[in-house]
Amino acid sequence: MAKLVMKMFACGSTSKKFTSKSKTAEKNNEQGFHKKYCVKQVIGNGGFGTVYAGYRRSDEMPVAIKFAKKDKTMGWMKDDDGQSLPREVYYLQRLRHIDGIVHLLDHYDEKSSSFPDAKSTRRSSSGSGPVSRGSYVIVMERPTNSQDLFDYITQHGSLQEDEARGFLRQIVETLVAMHAEGVVHRDVKDENVLVDLQTGRVRLIDFGSATELKDTDYEDFDGTRVYSPPEWMLHRQYRALPATVWSLGVLLYDMVCGDIPFTNDADIIKATPKLPSRLSEGVVNLIRRLLSVQPEDRPSLEQILDDPWMRPSRETSLQSVCSVDSGIADCVADDSVSEIAPRTNNSTVSQDCIMLTVSDVVDEPVRNTEDLTLSDGPVDSLGALSL
């Protein structure tokens, strides 16, 4: 995910004076962070940094604190004041008024090396050992008694349709609100959905792949391979809205069947998932629509909300925001997808995805590059925040 640092320039005779001031600012910035927040145990780590549990000292509010490695940054965004920010920070600030996303509390550009890293924290409770050479620190809310949807499904197995409907509706409504602001998430998946275990409310997390919404083709893919659409596999391009809808189809299947429908590129291109006979005709029809091979055959987000299967629990939505033939094979007449089975790990990929043509399709397994190691337990699942 994109983690960026602010550029600083110094030249000529003013460089020493600038450096002195900047070092003082860095020290004050770091002291301000530690004065405001307490950093506790590691709850997740990956290629772009480490996420810690923590709390705000003033009121003991639980927070998730991410230390993003500066040498792993991936892009810059300019805010309204012209300040360069990490992509994730930029979009969390821009979308802060939307209830269905995790909220940013603070961010710090830390250039010193006195912040902990995952290795030192795991090795010593005192935090001694090697430390990072500077981080961009992102502080986000950490709802108590919450769990990401991947772990939730792993623990409970396939969800009842009413529960899956409620989750899907909230996610779609949040995406509608984001798209109205001109932002597309680009990595909608179970690991990036946070479930409040008490209220059933869900939030989207991880905005490191977010970008500006446009009507033309995207030729870069920064999401998760097993959630990517056939057009990306075949043509190395996609459009935001149909690709988002495809990922929702994968997610809906995941919720009602207990695992994702596709585990390799060939299966994604064929788009013929097995659907157990226990599923209602309504959810089967919606999955077919969402996983239409042709992007133009997929419904819009608004059409998803108006789908007959989505209507029964319309009034239960926590938020409010202002059937075609898909070519997918018929529903399998047996319960070939188990209720609780070993879960397929998601893998995050970028532009190194292999270009395929129809003649190249073979049943090769997806590369499984597992970025994130999480501790067990509902709260620790917050380690998935924005890695």
Q: What CATH number is attached to the domain comprising 186?
A: 1.10.510.10
Give the helix, strand, coil percentages of the chain, each rounded to 5.
35, 15, 45
Q: Each residue of 156-173: b (16+ CB within 10 Å) or e? A: eebbebebbbbbbbbbbb
25 located within any domain: no
Element (H, E) at 207: none
Domain that residue 244 falls in: 147-376
- Which residues are within 8 A (CB) of 233 and not within 5 positions of it... i.e. 6 or more apart? 265, 268, 269, 353, 356
Instruction: Check if the beta carbon of residue 214 is closer than 8 Å to that of residue 222.
Output: no
CA angle 236, 239, 244 (to 5 degrees): 105
Residues forming the active site: 187
4 located within any domain: no
Strands 135-141 vs 61-69: parallel, antiparallel or unpaired: antiparallel
DSSP symbol at 307: S
281, 372: one domain: yes
Q: How far is CA 319 from CA 68, 81, 168, 172, 255, in A?
A: 32, 31, 12, 10, 20
Q: How many domains does the chain have?
A: 2
Predicted structure pTM score: 0.74
pLDDT tens, residue order, the chain (387 aa): 433 333 322 333 333 333 334 444 455 566 789 899 999 999 877 666 788 999 999 999 999 999 887 755 556 788 888 888 889 999 999 999 999 999 999 999 876 545 554 444 443 333 433 344 567 899 999 988 999 999 999 999 999 999 999 999 999 999 999 999 999 999 999 999 999 999 999 999 989 899 999 999 999 988 899 999 999 999 999 999 999 999 999 999 999 999 999 999 999 999 999 999 999 999 999 999 999 999 999 999 999 999 999 986 444 444 333 333 333 434 343 454 444 556 777 754 433 333 333 333 333 333 333 333 333 344 444 444 545
168, 287: one domain: yes
Dihedral, 227, 150, 308, 315 alpha carbons, nearest 10 = -140
Domain boundary among 141, 172, 195: 141
Residue type, 107: H
299 located within any domain: yes
230, 97: one domain: no
